[in-house]
Amino acid sequence: MRALNRWAAGLFFIFGALLFGADGKIRLTEMENIIGDYAENPGVPRYDFLVDIYKLHRFYGGVLEVSEINALSLYPSLFLYDRTDPGVYRGDIGYLLDNLRENAGMEFETFVPQSVDDLIGFVRRNLSKGDPVLLVAGSCDVIFGLNGETLLTEDHGEMNRTDLDALLSKENVKLLRMKAPGPIDESTKRQIFARDVALRVLREMVNNFEREAFAIGQKTVKCGKRAYESFIEDLENPSISWRAGKSQTYKWLGPSLEPQWTGLQGTIVYLTELYDQVEGDEKKILERAILNFESAMGNWRFWNEVVDISWSDSGVVEQAVREFSSNMEKRKKGASCVRTALLRYEEGIGQLKEFLEKAEN
């Protein structure tokens, strides 16, 4: 697939002037370099939507890392769970974009296409200005080129009208364009650790852990501590099966969890950088919080070892899920990993509350 993407990028480079005029819009090929660089060094947070936001940010010369973007979006602090719907881990992207506007000064334009012509028209208008577009559906994909009416994308390669019509018929599709930031200098990086921004981020982290539900459209799902507890209960309940069939509840053993717990690395990075900005008691409190979040992260890694399913090999997933589901000893061991991660996370939240009390009084 990556080879196809490189071929597509090459095709786009050759015909770029024809497609978008001879005024330098060919700069879009720089997105392929960013995509390639990230593939070589993917970092830890693995929620595809925020990874792609990072790529758009870097395309415009942004200086934030993917871990910082995760933290500032507040995604790692949510932890969403509904066993019957493995897709809820994606959350509400509007909430994440609002946080990135507020905490990182990012600006976005979103568009909901009603037809293939709508979709292609939006893409063409923006690519002609040299702006890549993010396709947000069941998964996310960067659109960096257009050959006639065929999209050139990072993950799907070429998507023609038939592909797009099929996508619109089965998915809620949004298109997202990041607005180019103003002049970027060192103050841009310092701004995300400004006192008011830091307190807002920490306060929302605490709120997300303590609230029990989160609205996604018309649906409400478990959130924060209650979501952790519900997942543990389901793991320890022998009457619950983690099927690999149509319901796809098996994804809660890996694909629906990993984007959420790996985002915690963003929280750790942000707090570690904030630690360097404060002094005295605040520094000591943050140090304890960081150690607890790191411990929570370690228990999530141990969870992966306990479940021990090779998600990249579709041929073995069904059998591996069946074996895990029927092995109560392994399920309880996994539940113990999650429970310990929750305890450490809760202690870290307690220290953030202590930090906020000192800072706000």
268-273 contact pairs (CB < 8 A, 24+): 268/67, 268/293, 268/294, 268/297, 269/65, 269/67, 269/68, 269/71, 270/67, 270/68, 270/71, 270/72, 270/192, 270/201, 273/68, 273/193
| Mean pLDDT of the residues in the chain | 88
Residues 36 and 128 in one domain: yes
- pLDDT given at position 8: 42
Residues 24 and 121 in one domain: yes
Residue ranges making up the domain that contains 216? 186-360
Residues 292 and 270 in one domain: yes
Pairing mode, strands 174-178 and 157-159: unpaired
Residues 162 and 226 in one domain: no
Name the DSSP class of 180.
P
- pLDDT given at position 125: 93
Which residues in the chain show pLDDT less than 70?
1-27, 40-42, 182-186
- pLDDT given at position 30: 80
- pLDDT given at position 1: 41
Residues 20 and 151 in one domain: yes
Residues 140 and 274 in one domain: no
Q: How many residues does the chain have?
A: 361
Residues 265 and 298 in one domain: yes
- Residue at which a domain ends, from 137, 161, 178: 178
Q: Which residues of 127-137 are buried (b: 16+ CB within 10 A; e: fewer)?
A: beebbbbbbbe
- pLDDT given at position 260: 94
Residue 47 CB neighbours (<10 A):
25
Angle between helices 2-20 and 30-40 (to 10 degrees): 160
| E strand segments, the chain | 80-81, 108-111, 133-136, 140-147, 150-153, 157-159, 174-178, 213-216, 219-223
Query: 217 CB contacts (<8 Å, ≥6 apart)?
Result: 92
Phi, psi of 81 (to 5 degrees): -150, 130
Give the separation between CA 225 and CA 228, rounded to whole angstroms: 5
Give the separation between CA 152 and CA 27, rounded to whole angstroms: 15
- pLDDT given at position 12: 38
Residues 348 and 331 in one domain: yes
Residues 11 and 137 in one domain: yes
Residues 174 and 201 in one domain: no
Residues 53 and 10 in one domain: yes
Phi, psi of 297 (to 5 degrees): -60, -40
Pairing mode, strands 219-223 and 80-81: antiparallel
Q: ∠ CA(151), CA(37), CA(20), 5° rounding?
A: 35
Q: What is the number of domains present in the chain?
A: 2
- pLDDT given at position 9: 42
Residues 209 and 143 in one domain: no
- pLDDT given at position 182: 65
